[in-house]
Chain A
Amino acid sequence: MNQHKDMPQTAPGGDDAEIAISVRGLTMGFGDQTVLDALDIDVRKGELLGIVGGSGTGKSVLMRTIIGLNRPWAGSIKVLGQDLGKLDFHERHRIERRWGVLFQDGALFTSLTTAQNVQVPLREQIKGMPQVLMDEIASFKLSLVGLAPDAGSKYPSELSGGMRKRAGIARALALDPEILFLDEPTAGLDPIGAAAFDQLISQLHRVLGLTVVMVTHDLDSLHTVCDRIAVLADKKVKLIGTMDDMLKSDHEWTHEYFHGPRSRAAGIGV
């Protein structure tokens, strides 16, 4: 639903209309270590996709490569119908405004207060935004992610880890992006906070028609909010599908992951 008018529709009709992100043959690594090897993945428009995989399998690397922070060795990445490898500076800039990112450790600007952090994209990207409105929108977004009003004037170093995460999401949502990338959003939150967070993401996803790509190890999140789950293993997407598909899988790691004691505690596969 969030289709801006100025968006060039490169491929009218066809599959592209349904696919938000399409990655083909992505190979990426560091030095002589290959982290991702000819990886393919499609993210559908409006879905909430969870990415799981053991520590160090390259989930963060995949996310960073899709948003262009790492240069891939080979392969193509299409986001909202545009091939990121072929964009010029301005097109690239325009597409970057259409996604929001929460980094694994928040990555807030340390010399700005939380509220000022949320205002950065508004100030830099929207011309002529009046300060009152910017203050109001920052307050709205901070409250939306469940931060108390007194957190707005605090510096990131004065926040708890969970609060930093929330502030990071508030900043990612500042420009009402169409795609939201989240790297372990609920890690470091208490279970009640994490559940509320899941609800928040699921609601934003539903109400704003957001496409959400979420790296997570939180089985509750996977269970309650994700439409589909992708399993990253052996440098590839080993498996992608619904929770039921995961439970039926005989891939060893996947089986262990979704049938372990923690899954049972989360009420999965029982």
Chain B
Amino acid sequence: MAKAIPVADDVWIKQTPTSDSLTISVGGQWVVARIAGLFAHLQEISSEVDRPVTFDMSEVEVLDTAGAWLIYRTAKQFRGNGIEVQIIGANDDQAMMLQQAADHDVPTEIEPIPNYSLRGVIGDVGAGVIGAAQGAVRVLNFFGMILLAVGRAIVNPKRLRLPATIHQIEQIGIQALPLVGLISFLIGVVIAYQAATVLGDMNAEFLTVDMVSFVILRELGILLAAIMIVGRSGSSFTAQIGAMVMHEEVDAMRSLALDPIEILVVPRFIALVILMPIITFYADIMAMIGAMMVTWANLGISPEAFIERAHEILTGWDVSVGIIKAPVFGMIIALIGCYEGLRVSGSAESVGRQTTKSVVESIFMILLLDAFFAVFFTTIGI
């Protein structure tokens, strides 16, 4: 009473039981593409087997390493259950493959080894705080190294990588202009529109110009510019430098006695410190133009009248407060972008992780510092 189980149309398993033994004949294509079905059937058989087994492989047409492994591991499983197993009918090549499977039956770790910690939650929180503090110290340390390198470049201009710096200025600045201009313009439109509506309800639309120019010049222009540069340039600093770390390019620089800070970080740092005030000024102007369009169209305030009014109410400080903050924010973006890039380790995943971190941290630091600036400027009365 032999029953043949066709697993697929080109591979089969047949059981021939006698009173004191079971012959499992297998045949056809014992290849990796069929392996999942074969495995399932053999598992089924193995749960019922209760007597010595003979595997007859004489009708196997094609055997690859996966097929050989399956036969070997099934035999092993039977033996583990106390059942005697004999394999017959394998030709020389097949016998060799089975031997290979036996020789290489070495269970391997598959998953990464997790970092177990016995300190528990409290320990983790503590470690988190200490980690954050250490991180802050490392960033400050890195900031110091950058300042030293910038200092060296100022004392000895030959150390300044002028072409690299100019390249960065072009990448960060010139190419950002269309985007920054468009978004600033649109935000100017939105702000002026909202201001005109709210103030109009209170019959105070003549204050629209005052309000939008204060908001744009003191806060909005610089924040817009900074956040867009974080997204455009801070993230790309991290990704570029991170990819270089991953391909051991940074190690190669160090081994050639080149200073990665001087080559990679300083040009980006200088470029951003120079560019941020300019980009901010540009964002201010574009947002003001946007606002001007709205007041002209909705309130009938002509551009000349807009400019005249702005001139009357704005002091020099109103215009410069935003611009004064700009180089500081530029430093933050370059600092964090490059720092997180250099902290990338081996994997592509870590490039992504560090890039996210760099963007989040930069925006957080910028908003935090902006709050400090607001308090500071109010306190000293400008």
Question: Which A residues lie at the B interface, using CB under 8 A?
Answer: 1-5, 109-111, 113, 115-116, 119, 122, 126-130, 133, 135-144, 147, 149-158, 173-176, 207-208
* Complex: chain A residue closest to B347, CB-CB: A110
Contacts of A4 on B, CB cut-off 8 Å? 29, 31, 33, 62
CB distance B110 to A113 under 8 Å? yes
CB distance B347 to A140 under 8 Å? no
CB distance B36 to A157 under 8 Å? no
Contacts of B112 on A, CB cut-off 8 Å? 113, 153-155
B window 20-48: CB within 8 A of A: 29, 31-33, 35-37, 39-40
CB distance A143 to B33 under 8 Å? no
CB distance B29 to A5 under 8 Å? yes
The verdict on B50 contacting chain A, using a C-beta distance below 8 Å, is no
CB distance A140 to B110 under 8 Å? no
The verdict on B96 contacting chain A, using a C-beta distance below 8 Å, is yes
CA distance A137 to B67 in the complex (A): 10
Partner pick for A111 among B35, B97, B348, CB 8 A cutoff: B348
CB distance A143 to B108 under 8 Å? yes
CB distance A126 to B35 under 8 Å? yes
The verdict on B201 contacting chain A, using a C-beta distance below 8 Å, is no
Contacts of B32 on A, CB cut-off 8 Å? 122, 126, 174-176
CA distance A113 to B100 in the complex (A): 24
Question: Which B residues lie at the A interface, using CB under 8 A?
Answer: 9-10, 29, 31-33, 35-37, 39-40, 62, 64-66, 69-70, 73, 93, 96-97, 100-101, 103-113, 246, 345-349
B102 vs chain A, min Cβ distance (A):
10
CB distance B110 to A115 under 8 Å? yes
4 smallest A-B Cβ distances: which pairs? Answer: A157-B346, A153-B109, A152-B108, A143-B104
CB distance B39 to A138 under 8 Å? no
Contacts of A175 on B, CB cut-off 8 Å? 32
Known: A138-B108, A140-B101, A149-B109. A156 touches B35 (CB 8 A): no
A111, A135, A136, A153 pick with most chain B CB within 10 angstroms: A136
Contacts of A149 on B, CB cut-off 8 Å? 106-109
Partner pick for B109 among A126, A133, A152, A207, CB 8 A cutoff: A152
CA distance A207 to B62 in the complex (A): 11
Contacts of A110 on B, CB cut-off 8 Å? 246, 346-349
Q: Beyond A137-B66, A140-B69, list 6 extra A-B contacts (CB 8 Å).
A: A110-B349, A126-B32, A133-B36, A133-B39, A151-B108, A153-B109
Partner pick for A153 among B31, B100, B111, CB 8 A cutoff: B111
CB distance B348 to A2 under 8 Å? no
CB distance B110 to A127 under 8 Å? no
Contacts of A141 on B, CB cut-off 8 Å? 65
Partner pick for B111 among A5, A113, A140, CB 8 A cutoff: A113
19 A-B contacts (beta carbon < 8 Å): A2-B31, A2-B62, A4-B33, A110-B349, A113-B111, A113-B112, A115-B110, A133-B39, A135-B108, A140-B69, A140-B104, A143-B105, A143-B108, A150-B109, A157-B345, A157-B347, A207-B93, A208-B64, A208-B65
Contacts of B10 on A, CB cut-off 8 Å? 5
Contacts of A143 on B, CB cut-off 8 Å? 103-106, 108
Known: A4-B33, A129-B36, A133-B35. A142 touches B346 (CB 8 A): no
* Complex: chain A residue closest to B37, CB-CB: A128
Contacts of A173 on B, CB cut-off 8 Å? 65
CA distance A158 to B40 in the complex (A): 36
Known: A130-B39, A137-B69. A176 touches B110 (CB 8 A): no
CB distance A139 to B346 under 8 Å? no
Partner pick for B96 among A133, A139, A151, A207, CB 8 A cutoff: A207
Contacts of A144 on B, CB cut-off 8 Å? 65, 100, 104
* Complex: chain B residue closest to A204, CB-CB: B65
CA distance A130 to B40 in the complex (A): 9
Contacts of B347 on A, CB cut-off 8 Å? 110-111, 155-157
Known: A110-B246, A158-B346, A208-B65. A153 touches B33 (CB 8 A): no
* Complex: chain A residue closest to B93, CB-CB: A207
CB distance B348 to A176 under 8 Å? no
CB distance A142 to B108 under 8 Å? yes
Contacts of A138 on B, CB cut-off 8 Å? 108, 110
Contacts of A135 on B, CB cut-off 8 Å? 107-108, 110
Contacts of A154 on B, CB cut-off 8 Å? 112
Contacts of B9 on A, CB cut-off 8 Å? 5
Contacts of B69 on A, CB cut-off 8 Å? 136-137, 140
B106 vs chain A, min Cβ distance (A):
4
Contacts of A3 on B, CB cut-off 8 Å? 62
Contacts of A127 on B, CB cut-off 8 Å? 36
Contacts of A151 on B, CB cut-off 8 Å? 108
